[in-house]
Structure 1
Amino acid sequence: MDFSSFNFESSLQEGLDAMGFDQPTPIQEKAIPVILNNKDLIACAQTGTGKTAAFILPVLNKISKSGSDKLNTLVLAPTRELAIQIDQQIQGFSYFLGISSIPIYGGGDGLVWEQQKKALETGAEIVVATPGRLIALLAGGKMDLSSLEHLILDEADRMMDMGFSDDILKIVNYLPKKRQTILFSATMPSKIRQFSMKILNQPEEISIAIGKTAEGVTQSMYSVYDTQKENLVKHILSQKSYEAVIIFASTKEKVKGLYKVLKKHFDVEAFHSDLEQIDREKIMSAFKNKAVKILIGTDIISRGIDVVGIELVINFDTPSDPEDYVHRVGRTARADKEGEAITFVNPKDQPKFARIEKLIGMSITQNPLPDDFERGPVYQGDSFKSNRKPAAHEKKAGSKPKSKGKKKFPPRQKPVQNPEAHQEKPKEDKTKNKQSQNSESNSSNISNSSGSSKFGNRKNVIEP
């Protein structure tokens, strides 16, 4: 089928034709008719499957058909990066419609606060917001949500992980009971199903290829020691002139350390929560425009960006959660393009990687280390036992040829008695709630979509 099968308004279809949208993705094909029929929906679809268009296009079509100039739709997103991304896509799809949207996300000063309130006064049909900042605006009594017809939760599982469930329930209390609620999630754990029952009314359910990676991704791994990782990254990046690469590390400290190593040789930037929002936006803009070729970050960017043309994803650290692997790999091979994903697996992470292979239903190819590297650990998957005695070639795990003679096993490579009990947890996990708050508190800029449209001036605020 193609997009004309949905019988969209001519102005919306004209925009899709201009953007080169011919055939819908599977999630779009299944979700759009449900939303057009005003049914509540729970949709499970991975990143990179076109889910944003799946919920935005039918909503835009309904707004265009009604001709209403009131606040119609609220989209909740876990991070400001995703909120900005959704807002930008709305602006692209609605180019010929005269429908506007406003992104509302955290700001650290009064200027940003005033900009957001002024944008709301001018009005928009769609508001894209992070929960924390929206709660603050609602508490101030400045938003009029009585005309709202659609509530959309994007990356619902991510919002649950970040501790936003109570905030979302507070927001729902401000909304009309008669509305259409749409929940999109990349995974569907039991807590999401339980939560959805509190805010959705007899929803239909759609699930698209849970746990599967895109067909266009070539996946491989290296079995390595931690001391080999930096030299291996440099080796890989020097083999080809890449236009767009993302390197994922487990903590922001590792991101900063790897950045210091790579910036001496490559065009690279580090993306982490310690940066000011304006700096994060500049880095992301430069990466999207190919002014920066290599981006190093934590899982904060595994769901929060949509960049077509990423050629290579390197997992510097094996993800702790198999589903995080799917999200990371989903950054490449988007829009039917091809891409490559390489994962570094140290001895203690071998059981983690075995669980990844089980989730995606395939064995990932193991690459041999370059000739001038020390021999790496033997990959044993789930059968790896950390109490085994190290082989002679494992007593030093550098990348340079070692001289003969006995050398002590490096302390951080000593085997432990219980690999599960001694596995390091990424520091991101320990500060998850703090980061979720920071993700809405360090903004220094906001896109203002308050320009006039064919509907003229709008008011989304309650007059004093």
Structure 2
Amino acid sequence: MPTRTTSRPARAGRGRTAPAPDAAPTHAGIDLDQRAADVPQARDFADLGVPEPLRAALAGMGIHTPFPIQAASIGDALAGRDVLGRGRTGSGKTVAFTVPLTAVLARGDRAAPNHPRGLILVPTRELATQVHATLRPLAEAVGLTCATVFGGVSQQPQAAALNRGVDVLVACPGRLEDLIGQGLCDLDAVRVTVLDEADHMADLGFLPAVRRLLDRTPRGSQRLLFSATLDNGIGVLVRRYMHDPAVHSVDSADSPVAAMTHHVFVIGGRDKDAIVRELAAGRDRRILFTRTKHGAKKLARALRRDGLPAVELHGNLSQPQRKKNLDAFGEGTATILVATDIAARGIHVDDVGLVVHVDPPAEHKAYLHRSGRTARAGAEGVVVTLATGDQHGEVKTLMRKAGIKPLTAAVRPGEEIVATIRGEAAVRLTPPPAAPARPAPQRSAPQRSAPQQAASERARAGAPPRRRGRRGGPRKPAGQS
């Protein structure tokens, strides 16, 4: 199906002047929802003008045919235009911006120390790591270097990488501002800036930092913005920093994925734990979402006690712990990921067959973002929302706002529909042996002084206790001086 996009004449080169940061928007009249022309589907990346070294790198990654968002946007980005790409998660946006970014930068000189030439801003550490994993083979194919900077880890390796010279920097706004403030990074040489998951950055309150960083990039540099939605200030960001962008959208801003099957299980409160365990006990990858960090930790621990390979992802984990758990899930050594909402937008793992909303999310966009962890890259997926009787009304409203008509059923533990959705049962691991109970420590008698010991021995011998004077010595007989 052809992608709908705005049709505007491409500008020649990059010789335009961006408005000053404090200037009034010069193109506030852009209709961000306008999609007037059809873009023909490219058969392969050669049709889009992607250089051969990058095509070979893509083939090595198992990517041979462009997805719709890639077919629509890569040509404009290669031509130097600003691009606004809008589409659901899992639509292939990372390749849509990393390919033209590396192709454009490969035409120029290499980066000077502490002056990156390409910048990709992302909202979370997990997303930074995963974008870098896609970017790295492409960058290496054309002789570019890349690095990541984000908080929660030592900045010394990041500063050292910048000092060696980095062509493309993948960064979270907070840590990047810290490095700039210390004089360890300067954005005055940036030719291309990418904002990935801009709507999530808005949700996390990063837009002021994003604006400050964009103000540091050169006027006239190219900007690519990719977002699932255009609310929460994203439209203002587009109008302020992008010049006549080519707007490409593969879906409406909040559309559900056609390849997903949505279920609502109406359950009794006492049945919830048993049903969650049944749904978790499948062989394929699955993600279980909870509303709280404590809930995620508690559920992951309970599943591990049942012999199921579960890891957790939430805000209380250190960066090494988060990376370890996400790597285990991505590599398949753990097939169950229990996550909170804050982690949902940072999870980009293919072949997730089932998403379970253990706790229904608070609003419909969170539902779509959570659910978008399955049915990625054209695959199919199943989404199950558990609702107790008093939650059913809220969940019905949630589904209506999300544009979803779920299959709804009252469900008890052990019913066939639960086993069907669970799929082939997992081979349970032997739970780790419980640590042996430590014997209660023996309380030793307090050490006694020599007079106390002597008094004790006299008592055991039946002798009367010796009377003592005020200062502890033997009492003198009356009349003695």
SS of corresponding position for 1:55: helix
Does 2:234 correspond to 1:189?
no
Higher relative contact order (CA 8 A, sep 6+): 1
Equivalent in the alignment of 1:449: none
SS of corresponding position for 2:233: helix
Amino acid at match of 1:101: C
Does 2:278 correspond to 1:235?
yes
Instruction: Indicate the larger mover: 287-296 or 225-234.
Output: 225-234
Count of residue pairs the alignment pairs up: 368
Rounded to whole Å, the distance in 1 between the matches of 2:272 and 2:74 is 44
Rounded to whole Å, the distance in 2 between the matches of 1:170 and 1:236 is 45
**Structure 1 segment 49-88 matched on structure 2, within 5 A:** 49-66=91-108, 68-70=110-112, 71-88=116-133
Amino acid at match of 1:295: L
Equivalent in the alignment of 1:258: 299
Structure-2 change in CA distance of 1:160 and 1:372 (3 Å): closer
- Could you list the runs of 5+ residues in structure 2 that have no partner in the other structure? 1-41, 416-481
SS of corresponding position for 2:106: helix
| Aligned-pair CA distance for 1:190 | 5.4
| Aligned-pair CA distance for 1:67 | 5.3
SS of corresponding position for 2:386: strand
**Structure 1 segment 354-433 matched on structure 2, within 5 A:** 354-370=396-412
SS of corresponding position for 1:235: helix
Equivalent in the alignment of 2:262: 219
Instruction: Indicate the larger mover: 303-312 or 330-339.
Output: 330-339
Q: In terms of Rg, which structure is larger?
A: 2
| Aligned-pair CA distance for 1:54 | 0.7
Residue pair 1:223, 1:345 contacting (<8 A) in 2 also? yes
Residue pair 1:9, 1:64 contacting (<8 A) in 2 also? no
Match of residue 215, structure 2, among 132, 150, 173: 173
Does 2:145 correspond to 1:100?
yes
| Aligned-pair CA distance for 1:297 | 0.9
Does 2:236 correspond to 1:198?
no
Equivalent in the alignment of 2:355: 313
Residue pair 2:353, 2:382 contacting (<8 A) in 1 also? yes
Rounded to whole Å, the distance in 1 between the matches of 2:215 and 2:317 is 34
Residue pair 2:163, 2:184 contacting (<8 A) in 1 also? no
| Aligned-pair CA distance for 1:371 | 6.5
Rounded to whole Å, the distance in 2 between the matches of 1:141 and 1:55 is 28
Residue pair 1:81, 1:305 contacting (<8 A) in 2 also? yes
Rounded to whole Å, the distance in 1 between the matches of 2:276 and 2:186 is 52
Residue pair 2:275, 2:413 contacting (<8 A) in 1 also? no
Residue pair 1:72, 1:125 contacting (<8 A) in 2 also? yes
Does 2:78 correspond to 1:36?
yes
Residue pair 1:287, 1:293 contacting (<8 A) in 2 also? yes
- Could you list the runs of 5+ residues in structure 1 that have no partner in the other structure? 374-464
Instruction: Indicate the larger mover: 96-105 or 66-75.
Output: 66-75
Residue pair 1:242, 1:311 contacting (<8 A) in 2 also? no
Rounded to whole Å, the distance in 2 between the matches of 1:126 and 1:165 is 21
SS of corresponding position for 1:285: helix
| Aligned-pair CA distance for 1:372 | 6.4
- Give the TM-score normalised by structure 1: 0.75
**Structure 1 segment 310-349 matched on structure 2, within 5 A:** 310-349=352-391
| Aligned-pair CA distance for 1:280 | 1.0
